[in-house]
Amino acid sequence: MALTEKDVRYVAALAHLELTAEEVRKFLPQLDSILDYVQKMNELDTSHVEPMAQVVTSASENPALRPDVSRKALTPEQATANAPESAAGYFKVPRVIDRER
């Protein structure tokens, strides 16, 4: 399966990356050769193998659960201190919803 420039642009749009024409030309053969290489996995019959999403070690029993009590957290000012634009503890972004024209 060979990638096309159209595929590269489609994936870039999914990833919110505005690639230049030069980047598309550069990435195309590189991504293609990597995808070609990983086909190697198809030599293995995995039809009866369970997928592994995470390393689960027997001793970590329910580590995610803790009492549902409130804890100290960052203040809105601290949480927005690194934002390119913020005001009154909120993040500022460009208009998202268009007014009717």
Partner 1 sequence: MDLTNLTIPEIRSALTSRRASAEEIVRAHLVKIEERDREIHAYLTLSPERALAKAREIDHLVASGAPLPPLAGVPIAIKDVILTRGVRTTCASRILDNYIPPYDATAVERLEAAGACLLGKTNCDEFAMGSSTENSGYGPTRNPHDLERVPGGSSGGSAAAVAARLATAALGSDTGGSIRQPAAFCETVGMMGTYGRVSRYGLVAFASSLDHIGPFARTVRDVALVLRTIAGRDPNDSTSADIPVPDYVAALDESVRGLRIGVPGEYFAGLNAEIADNLQKGIDLLARLGCQIKSVRLPHTEYAIACYYIIATAEASSNLARYDGVRYGVRSTGYRDLREMYEKTRNRGFGAEVKRRIMLGTHVLSSGYYDAYYLKAQKVRTLLARDFVQAFEEVDAVVTPTSPIPPFKIGERIDDPLQMYLTDIYTVTADLAGVPGISVPCGRTRSLPHLPVGMQLLGKHFDEASLLCIAHAFEQAGGFAAGS
Residues near partner 1 (CB under 8 A) are 7-8, 11-12, 14-20, 23, 26-27, 30-31, 33-35, 37-44, 46, 49-55, 57, 59-61, 63-64, 66, 74, 78-85, 91, 93-96
What contacts 27, CB < 8 A, 6 or more positions away?
A: 8, 19
DSSP string, 9-27: HHHHHHTT----HHHHHHH
- Minimum CB–partner distance for residue 93 and partner 1 (Å): 6
- Minimum CB–partner distance for residue 43 and partner 1 (Å): 8
- Minimum CB–partner distance for residue 44 and partner 1 (Å): 6
Question: How many CB atoms neighbour CB 8 within 10 A?
Answer: 19
Q: Categorise residue 88: left if φ over 0, alpha if ψ from -120 to 50, beta otherwise.
A: left
